[in-house]
Amino acid sequence: MSLRISGGRRLRSPLGEVARPTTARVRLAVINRLAPRLAGCHWLDLCCGSGAMACEALQHGAALVVGVERDRRVAAVARANLAAVAAGLGAGGRGRVEAAEVVGWLGRSRPAGFDVIYVDPPYAAGLYGAIGDQVGRGQWLRPGGTMVWECDSRRPPPVPEGWRLEAMRRYGSTSLLFLETDRGVQANPEARA
């Protein structure tokens, strides 16, 4: 099975029902909303699945894209997709995918400054709060940065302490929550991924 990102580029999709690729409509909505921030940004894609969002970010000018995916087979697909997009753009080395459980990875990795953190865990896994806490505690987000949660429209997760909801957009059964830090949980602006 394959999927396309904007510009018509084809990506591989993981076999079976291991991952739920973000729909083209939702990907386009995210990219359009964040367009002024994408050129030169550092993008962290948590629970990245096929890597489609990470590939969109890279294609739209992100300077660095990092994906984290728990399932090693799915991470391999995301890694291949990101490498193909980077090669097509002449942007080798600007992206990587880590095969790791996301909350643990955030807790043990060296915090780095990201401008956008995209979070798309399995909707019913209950990971949003733990991810928000780890991102805030680890100071992964640069000042002025945004964390975006993709979630089930019927059960949007509560906004964790230290964050505020900047906007919420609904696209059928999928909603996007755009979160900003409420207080000093942002990374040092000099931090690099």
Q: What is the pLDDT of residues 69-126, one digit of tens each?
A: 999 999 999 999 999 898 888 866 689 999 999 999 999 988 779 999 999 999 989 9
Predicted pLDDT of residue 11? 72
Predicted pLDDT of residue 189? 41
**Count of CB atoms situated within 10 Å of the CB of 143:** 12
Domains (range + CATH), the chain: 2-181 (3.40.50.150)
Distance, in Å, from the CA atom of 70 to the CA atom of 60, rounded to the nearest integer, reads: 25
Question: 170 to each of 30, 33, 111, 176, how far by Cα in Å?
Answer: 11, 13, 31, 6
Amino acid identity of residue 150, one-letter, is E
Q: 């991470």: which residue's tokens?
A: 75
Name the 3-class secondary structure at 75: helix
Instruction: State the pTM of this model.
Output: 0.89
Pairing of strands 64-69, 2-4: unpaired
Q: What is the pLDDT of residues 128-178, one digit of tens each?
A: 999 999 999 999 999 999 999 999 999 999 999 999 999 999 999 999 999
What does pLDDT average to over the chain?
87
Token pair for 73: 């087979």
Predicted pLDDT of residue 16? 56
